[in-house]
């Protein structure tokens, strides 16, 4: 079965600092991978998705970028964080049509 690993669980970063969140997949190969952001009390907004190494699709123009250097690794980055980047970030993976698996999430607070 597929397991999504995310770290750290919580992160407090100052405005203007860089960001790197890593997501790794265990148990499957060639998954579709996704980064979602959830603002407090809100739904999930799709930020990026990737169907393969080096292939990134961006859904929303923003201060963030994503990369997929390896099949089972998906990275969310920012060069300079904004206050509005605060939120709960979830990585998800899909292999089969209905097999979506989520990581445990990273709660980012930009101060």
Least Å distance, CB 80 to other proteins, is 26
CA pseudo-torsion sign 89, 75, 55, 94: negative
Applying CB under 8 A, the span of 11-19, 28-36, 61-69, 77-85 interacting with other proteins comes to 28-36
Number of residues that bind other proteins (CB under 8 A): 23
Among 42, 53, 77, 84, binds other proteins (CB under 8 A): 42
Q: Which of 12, 15, 51, 53 contacts other proteins by CB under 8 A?
A: 51
């Amino acid at each position: 079965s597929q397991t999504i690993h995310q770290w750290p669980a919580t992160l407090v970063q100052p405005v203007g600092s860089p960001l790197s969140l890593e997501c790794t997949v265990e148990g499957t190969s060639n998954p579709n991978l996704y980064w979602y952001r959830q603002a407090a009390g809100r739904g999930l907004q799709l930020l990026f998705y990737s169907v393969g190494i080096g292939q990134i699709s961006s859904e929303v123009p923003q201060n963030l970028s994503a990369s997929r250097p390896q099949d089972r690794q998906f990275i969310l980055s920012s060069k300079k964080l904004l206050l509005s980047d605060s939120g709960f970030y979830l990585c998800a993976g899909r292999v089969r049509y209905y097999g979506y698996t989520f990581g445990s999430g990273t709660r980012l607070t930009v101060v």
